[in-house]
Structure 1
């Protein structure tokens, strides 16, 4: 049998053995890459098998990762008093059999994203999963341990005394008539943002102890059509919870969705050092869910648009992608649309506005704090 050659290189005894002139190295976060010293180039795929690999677990006892004066990572074995550029964890690498990452778009369904994804040992919390996109998310995670939470008032938010690996902040309302919650705040703002903020505040210790964990915040492209800050860059409460005479339901929704992204970014900044990441997303335009049920005109518009918009399965795809995609492990502070990263509005990227919203939300919670129920 003729020996298999790869790009004109000489064959070696083992499929995984590197051809002459190649060296295996790893990045700081454990991804393995290959250096070709003859051609002075690097690549992620093994030059013979086309596989990608990532180092698993922590460094062995006595080893330390360091960086030389050229910025290249090397490893010190303090027990045996030696150094090497070879990652000692590479004896326990995880192979990625696909040379190219999966590609998704607006037609991708949640089930396609979940293909070959094992959630059997995961605990997932989804808010607003009683209808619409949230119901679709809940129905496609039967292998996980799901919990459905409503966030209409602070008194209804609960904390969990068990591990939590994925938290999906999905609950939302739109085109609501002006109304105040029992906490004295405008309904859209409290359901879409403050309830989720309070929920995360209650669960932050659980999330840290369950790390690696992910928080996924469902926002909307409508966040681009509003602003929240004054001339000093501070978020104004009167814009989020206005008096009735200054209220417009769609503007309230847009502002709440902008809050979602600011909250997601600040949450990631605060929690990522503890192994908890957060991303925000847009599920799709004018999908026919119960979110528009409070206004007959909006229901009519959504009905006309229904043949041209995503299905519930397609609408849930980006949420599920942010929750389970292996390539997003340890990565956050981003905004996704159609399972693809994109930039949100300039104000949504403003760290000063994000910090201001966080401070305001904390104050509103403290002023209305009530005892919580622990399951």
Structure 2
């Protein structure tokens, strides 16, 4: 039958003769085979742990005739007496902000998802047809989530979907059209999503453009500002009722360390500054400013929606990654190619996004900025509450001057 397997946390190695076990309600206890005693605290660290959630995808709990519990891994055709969730046991915390760093810059999205079953969870990802967005979509879909790829290039998105289905035929992946350079398209997308009747548990605002040169959208706005920030702000507003009905939920906003080089200030936060005209435009500053807006938006969104069971965090995926961002100018393509051996892979680049989307310890934690799967202080201006509120108000003014107003997100968190 099954053979006994002794698992131990690499950070909390058990002494010889000790074994971790789990009660039916998920509490971890420790058995000493020499003394025949049990205790709740780790014999070395004194920590208490619990396991949460269902068994990982492909696992089943069974009981023998004499009442002994064992676990069957149908994917790998193995059995064990050890609850597989022990690998992801969590410390009993006094505060939700008290969490240790489990992963780092070398971690991959699939490592973070190891053992997780996201069946029944609906995830919407903008810009999911290339680079980090695709790896994020692929990783989540391989672990059972229903992934909606919101993309402008639907042909590319369908090709990416086919790649995922080739890897896992039973994966649930949908493709929907959205053009973030058009507010009408964003509104149509939200209407179409609502018509589908799907819930929405995780919203990942990943899409971005960089180094395009000056482009004016049909809404008379500068494209970097609209695509990287304003349209995704608008999309969130339009979908937030669905998220609240589906709560608990999470919003992950992909920002960048470039936010530290923004020239935005409270006293120059205007439409003209956010969406400059040709004579004042510099593509790098437009990108930096949009990434600061991303963090300010995520922080304020968390303040407004956390009372409704939805948390929002912002992240930096990685430095100088060989992603689709560099496609718009040959110089950037060359630069990204030269540094490629020293940068993260797409799997590593998707790790922080996936961590913020699924990590159990972040279920009630929002308003933070993450880099390398770890909480990281952003620039001081990114944590400026009054500037976040001012940006929110200005964003609504810009939207209301160009579309029929649709006020959805509560203004006071109520």
SS at 1:318's partner residue?
A: helix
**1:50 positional shift:** 5.2
* Deviations, residues 72-126 of structure 1 (Å, cap 9, x unaligned): xxxxxxxxxxxxxxxxxxxxxx986356966211110000011111111100000
Instruction: State the SS of the aligned residue for 1:286.
Output: coil
CA contact (8 A) 1:229 1:235 kept: yes
Cα root mean square deviation, aligned:
2.7
Q: CA deviation at 1:284?
A: 0.2
Aligned 1:1-375 pairs, distance under 5 A: 46=41, 51-53=48-50, 97=89, 103-142=102-141, 143-150=144-151, 151-157=180-186, 158-159=189-190, 160-161=193-194, 162-231=198-267, 235-369=269-403
Instruction: Write the distance in 2 (CA, Å) between the matches of 1:226 and 1:315.
Output: 23
1:39-98 CA distances to partner (integer Å, 9 max, x unpaired)? xxxxxx735695413899xxxxxxxxxxxxxxxxxxxxxxxxxxxxxxxxxxxxx98635
Supply the distance in 2 between the matched residues of 1:209 and 1:135 (Cα, whole angstroms).
27
Is residue 229–residue 236 contact of structure 1 (8 Å, CA) maintained in 2?
no
**Residue 64 of structure 2: aligned partner:** none
1 or 2, which has the higher helix percentage?
2
Structure 1 moving runs of 4+ over 2 Å: 45-51, 53-56, 94-102
Structure 1 residues 196 and 182, CA, compared in 2 at 3 Å: closer, same or farther? same
**Per-residue Cα deviation, 1:277-333 (whole angstroms, up to 9, x for no partner):** 000000001111121111111111111111100010000000000000000001100
Alpha-carbon distance change, 16 to 284 in structure 1, aligned in 2, over 3 angstroms:
closer
Structure 2: which 5+ residue stretches go unaligned?
1-20, 29-39, 54-84, 92-98, 152-179, 407-414
Q: Within 2, Cα distance between the matches of 1:230 and 1:47?
A: 50
SS in 1 for 2:181: coil
1:152 CA drift (Å): 2.7
Aligned residues: 296
Per-residue CA deviation, residues 199-253 of structure 1 (Å, 9 max, x unaligned), is: 001011111111100000000000001132243xx62222211110110001100
C-alpha separation between the residues in 1 aligned to 2:204 and 2:22? 40
Q: Distance in 2 between matches of 1:188 and 1:16?
A: 51
Q: Provide structure 1 residue ranges, at least 5 long, that are not aligned to the other structure.
A: 1-14, 18-31, 34-44, 57-93
Work out the CA distance in 2 between the residues paired with 1:47 and 1:305: 45
Q: Is the 8 A contact 2:271 2:398 kept in 1?
A: no
CA distance in 1, matches of 2:361, 2:369: 15
Q: Tell me if structure 1 keeps the 8 A contact 2:101–2:373.
A: no
Q: Distance in 1 between matches of 2:134 and 2:334?
A: 22
**Does the residue aligned with 2:318 lie in a helix, a strand or coil?**
coil
Which moves more between the two structures, 135-144 or 176-185? Answer: 135-144
CA distance in 2, matches of 1:207, 1:353: 26
- With the length of structure 1 as denominator, give the TM-score of the two structures: 0.73
Contact 2:252/2:314, CA 8 A, preserved across alignment: yes
**CA–CA separation in structure 2 for the residues paired with 1:98 and 1:257:** 33
SS at match of 1:293: helix
Moved more, 221-230 or 328-337: 221-230
**Aligned-partner Cα distance in 1 for 2:330–2:338:** 13
CA distance in 2, matches of 1:345, 1:269: 19
- CA distance in 1 between counterparts of 2:110 and 2:216 reads 38
